[in-house]
Structure 1
Amino acid sequence: MATTPKANSELVAVAWLQGATGIEAGQVATTLPSDTTAWASNGFVQVPMVVGGSPQLHYALREPVVQVDTWAVNPNSGKPPWGKAASLFELLMAATYDVARMQRTLTLPAGYPQAQVMTAHFLTEPRRIPADDASYARFSADLVLHWITL
């Protein structure tokens, strides 16, 4: 018997962030693409993991805390583009204050049910994360989502 896949917090976070004003198709995923030329011009948004939160006990409301990272790279220089990574994060911050983006239906990958995010807010301020590779800039913060499956 084939089972229908269930929505999860990482898929919902990626779909919600993908809809932020200024974010382009394919600019958000759970894994940072290894080919930097694909994202060097605009940066990249990564949702690497769920870091906390609690599902509701009596009804199907999920309340995860997900890590969100913005990345920028300067492949032809050893100087990280901190400004680009920070500006990308500010687009995501602005999306949490955009009331029109709340309560909207999210389309998840094929085969998954749709989901709806009721509210989203950052629990922490974006923090600069130094990298071993001098050409990478990364900011990270924790996003709280309140979502349901439709």
Structure 2
Amino acid sequence: MTLTLRATTELVAEAWLKGAVGDIVATKLPRDNTTWAASGFVTVGTTGGNTGLYVPLRSPALTVTCWAVAPSSNRPPWNKANVLAETIVAATFDHANTPRLLTLPAGYPHARVLTAYPAYEPRRIPDDPGSYARYDLGLVLNWVEVS
């Protein structure tokens, strides 16, 4: 039996976010912060949501975390992390670019994001022991797989 690769919420979320902020998105923060200190970084994970009962529509709730670091300073660059978060919120209002067809990694089918909207406002997460600036925001993507 051969298994077919299917679009997943994490792949769709990464692809959609890359369209908003560039190639600085993954499900895990890179260990070497010097590789992303200039741009900041965005991580994403599924925190809830649901699927359609009669149609193949996915509506995941995601936690998007925007990170920034200043390796030569103990002061977190809050503004850089906040700019990333606000850029993502602004992308949800880009109605000319919604719905949007996304290309996923090789072997996976395309996905179409029908709507995207913030589930909650970006919020500062203080007291990171590594002096990272961190903003979290909630995001809902309504998407379908396209064969």
Structures share a fold, TM > 0.5?
Answer: yes
Matching residue within 25, 29, 54 for 1:28: 25
| Alignment TM-score, normalising by the size of structure 2 | 0.95
Query: Could you list the per-position Cα deviations for residues 21-54 of structure 1 after superposition, in whole angstroms to 9, with x for gaps in the alignment?
Result: xx222x111111111111100101110x211111
| Alignment TM-score, normalising by the size of structure 1 | 0.93
1:38 and 2:42 are equivalent in the alignment: no
The Cα shift of 1:2 comes to: 2.5
- Contact map agreement 1:10 1:66 (CA 8 A) in 2: no
Gaps of 5+ in 2: none
Q: How does 1:85-124 map to 2 (within 5 A)?
A: 85-124=81-120
Q: What's 1:5 paired with?
A: 5
Q: What's 1:64 paired with?
A: 60
The Cα shift of 1:145 comes to: 0.6
Residues in 1 aligned to 2:104 and 2:125: alpha-carbon distance in whole angstroms: 30
- Contact map agreement 2:85 2:137 (CA 8 A) in 1: no
The alignment-based identity, stated in percent, is: 52
The Cα shift of 1:9 comes to: 0.7
Gaps of 5+ in 1: none
Residues in 2 aligned to 1:101 and 1:18: alpha-carbon distance in whole angstroms: 14
Query: Could you list the per-position Cα deviations for residues 29-83 of structure 1 after superposition, in whole angstroms to 9, with x for gaps in the alignment?
Result: 1111111111100101110x21111101000000000110000001111000001
Corresponding residue SS for 2:82 = helix
The Cα shift of 1:88 comes to: 1.0
More strand by share: 2
Residues in 1 aligned to 2:34 and 2:3: alpha-carbon distance in whole angstroms: 38
RMSD of aligned Cα (Å): 0.9
Greater than 4 Å deviation, 4+ residue runs? none
Q: What's 1:128 paired with?
A: 124
Corresponding residue SS for 2:134 = strand
